[in-house]
Amino acid sequence: MCCNCFFCGDGRFSVNKKIGLNGTNWTVYEDENVFITPDISPVLKGHFLIVSKEHINSFGNGSREVFLSLQKAMEILVEKVYCQEQVLFFEHGAVISHTAGGCIDHAHLHAIPLEKSIDVDAYIDKHKLLDTPKLKMTYKTMHGFAKERKSYIAYGYSKNDIWIRNADWLPTQFFRLLISNYYPGEYNWRIACKSEYSKELFRETMELAAPLLIYRKEREDNA
């Protein structure tokens, strides 16, 4: 376990407490490898994170079992929370610390419901940010990047339609910055999380998680 990581051990949810969010435990689903929690500074209502329990830089650094848990968590979010809404999934796969637009060195994948899709590739091409090929995200491709010490971004609108590409450098919090071009607001979570508007979005996102909490309790009761 690493020190000073707010996804690990006693540090988990330390930032939630520091900025004054109500509650003590914001885990809305978990299995042996991952847990789901609302983002502490949601870009939009319904912004969740799928987080690795093991301290690894990216999901590419994890085992096949962690990858399968990630896919299952994505599926559960779609079925229990989002239903028919369009959901953008993305990870800044910072295999090497603070690369690929990442700013937190612990594997976490974002899930954000959008009213209309954002063409990530068109934005990247327009601003000439990357010239690397796009591959289907599988355990093999994701782990392959990590094995070769290549950071990546992963993104898409379905767990079966996620793309991955090498991204050694991108602006920090790249996907938040991208989304802010279509849904105006403060993209920097370290600034936004202190606002009352952000805290209200967090509360509304927790309310959306009610079906997940019921599902979690049913699983625990049947264990």
β-strand partners of 34: 52
| Global pTM value | 0.91
Domain architecture of the chain: domains with CATH: 9-222 (3.30.428.10)
In angstroms, the Cα distances linking 160 to 73, 107, 123 are 13, 20, 22
Per-residue pLDDT of the chain (223 residues; tens, 9 = 90+): 455 777 777 666 666 666 666 666 788 999 999 999 999 999 999 999 999 999 998 999 999 999 999 999 999 999 999 987 789 999 998 786 666 546 678 899 999 999 888 999 999 999 999 999 999 999 999 999 999 999 999 999 987 889 999 998 888 899 999 999 999 888 888 888 889 999 899 999 999 999 988 888 887 777 6
- Amino acid found at 181: N
Place of tokens 């992963």: 154
